[in-house]
């Protein structure tokens, strides 16, 4: 059992955050516990937007659940980033599954759609998961309504991406609970959503 320390005070989304912790306890080997002065810990703040660093940074590490971010799947998404998990569409093999529509992505958000190299992240032999809570929806960061930023190669999966229900069972956390946390990476700027 991995026990990241987490601190949050007077957060408007406290109920949802606690619910997300319960979900991790239930579905993974991760048990978020209250911070009591330890060196490295996660601090859930309410800044602008929903964002997190990818992986452990050391010391006080912030994660923002801003206004409009108080949905359990968004909280799970950001916590998973903090644990070292990238967005699903950043996988090195993503071009086999989705096509990124670069022209439709809002200025300044291209980084969110970048593809990792195999050196930067490891999918741990978990199949590409369209229904992952880490996968963006088809219109994420679109420049205008009606424009897609991600198109699935097989059109049948268009409705699956961006699901905001819960952590999927096929995800790396349950597939290889003891392995996946070792690929925690550092020094990555905050990932918005
Ligand atoms: Zn994300």
Q: How far away, in angstroms, is 73 Cα from ligand 1 center?
A: 11
Q: Which residue has the higher pLDDT, 158 or 174?
A: 158
- Note if 78 is an active site residue: yes
Q: What is the mean pLDDT of residues 104-133?
A: 90
Catalytic residue among 38, 76, 78, 120: 78
Global pTM reads 0.86
CA separation for the pair 14, 46 (Å, rounded)? 11
Q: Mean per-residue pLDDT for 11-36? A: 90
- How many angstroms separate the alpha carbon of residue 9 from the centre of ligand 1? 23
> What is residue 191's predicted lDDT score, i.e. its pLDDT?
65
> What is the pLDDT confidence band of residue 188, given thresholds at 50, 70 and 90?
very low
Q: What is the arithmetic mean of pLDDT over 59-75?
A: 92
In this model, does residue 114 exceed pLDDT 80?
yes
């Amino acid at each position: 059992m991995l026990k990241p320390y987490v601190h949050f005070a007077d957060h408007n989304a406290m109920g949802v955050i606690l619910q997300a912790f319960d979900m991790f306890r239930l579905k993974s080997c991760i048990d978020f516990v209250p911070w009591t002065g330890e060196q490295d810990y996660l601090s859930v703040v309410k800044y602008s937007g929903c964002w997190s660093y990818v992986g452990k940074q050391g010391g006080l590490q912030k994660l923002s659940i801003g206004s409009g971010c108080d949905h359990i799947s968004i909280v799970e998404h950001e916590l998973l980033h903090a644990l070292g998990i990238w967005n699903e569409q950043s996988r090195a093999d993503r071009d086999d599954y989705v096509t990124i529509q670069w022209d439709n992505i809002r200025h300044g958000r291209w980084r969110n759609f970048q593809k990792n190299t195999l050196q930067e992240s490891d999918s741990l032999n978990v199949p590409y998961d369209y229904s992952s809570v880490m996968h963006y929806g088809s219109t994420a960061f679109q420049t205008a309504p009606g424009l897609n930023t991600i198109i699935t190669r097989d059109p049948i999966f268009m409705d699956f991406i961006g699901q905001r229900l819960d952590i999927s069972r096929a995800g790396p956390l349950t597939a290889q609970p003891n392995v996946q946390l070792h690929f925690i990476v550092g020094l990555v700027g905050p990932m918005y959503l």
